[in-house]
Amino acid sequence: MRIKIVNVGEPVLRTAARPLHPEEIGSSRTRELIEHMRETLADAPGVGLAAPQIGEPLQLAIVEDRVEYQANLTEAELAERERRPVPFHVLINPEIQLLSSPDTSFFEGCLSLPGFVGMVPRARKVRVKALNENGEPIRIEAVGWYARILQHEIDHLKGTLYIDRMWSRSFCSVDNYNRLWKSKPTSELLQAFHPRTDGTGRDANLSGKSPEERNDETATDRHRSTS
């Protein structure tokens, strides 16, 4: 059964999801939810879906990047993005560790923000520890586009959307992206959209950071100014 994907503005997308308890993981309800999410993701289509996107505030996400989703990219574009097919898998109660700086930027979209994209700086390499649908521990080390997908979906479980991390100047409709920016080399996109600095070498809009990280940095700056 396909489930309606909720759009930005719904409180569930801005609330930290709760972990699944051990007795919930193997339950018939969770198995059905995973199957419904898989059907919904394939119908969209998309490469990842988190439970909050269908109104369920649970630490549960699915990922699948099929070969056919990459058909409109050239070999050069696939190589630059380090994008390869990723088989379907489930992430329950995931923990993520960035293994590189969040300095690799590409356009991203989101099923909960249909019709728009923006350039988002992400870590090129990550490590994820989670449970699968059987409650068994799994460990993933991902690079390139797979790492980007994992960061995007796990952000959803924390109430964070890509628009919180994107370079705000790059935000545009999918139509305008396809018409104006899709064929541009990355170097030109960086020149057009990279955030201006505030004179100290830092990005003026703290790009690539979630609201929580921005608040932490603001609080630190205030402390420094009064100490």
Would you say residue 223 has pLDDT above 80? Answer: no
Inter-CA distances, 142 with 124, 151, 201, Å? 8, 10, 30
Structural Rg of the chain based on CA atoms = 18
Would you say residue 109 has pLDDT above 70? Answer: yes
Cα(9)–Cα(122) distance, integer angstroms: 24
Q: What tokens were used for 182? A: 């899709």
Residue 81: the pLDDT is 96
Instruction: Reply yes or no: is the peptide bond before residue 45 cis, omega within 30 of 0.
Output: yes
Query: pLDDT tens for residues 178-207?
Result: 999 999 999 999 999 999 755 444 455 444
pTM summary value: 0.87
Query: pLDDT tens for residues 126-150?
Result: 999 999 999 999 999 999 999 999 9
Q: What is the average pLDDT across 150-170?
A: 98
**What's the whole-number average pLDDT of the chain?**
90
Confidence of residue 208 (pLDDT cuts 50, 70, 90): low
Query: pLDDT tens for residues 56-67?
Result: 999 999 999 999
Q: Which domains does the chain have, with CATH numbers?
A: 11-194 (3.90.45.10)
- Percentages of the chain per state (helix, strand, coil), in multiples of 5: 40, 25, 35
Contacts 24+ apart (CB under 8 A), 4-9: 4/54, 4/55, 5/40, 5/44, 5/49, 5/53, 5/54, 5/111, 5/112, 6/52, 6/53, 6/54, 6/55, 6/112, 7/112, 7/113, 7/114, 8/112, 8/113, 8/161, 8/163
Residue 116: the pLDDT is 98
Q: What tokens were used for 88? A: 């379907």
Selected catalytic residue, list 153, 188, 212, 217: 153
Residue 13: the pLDDT is 98
To the query of whether residue 188 is one of the catalytic residues in this protein, the response is no
Unique residue bearing structure tokens 């390869």: 84
Residue 196: the pLDDT is 74
Residue 172: the pLDDT is 98
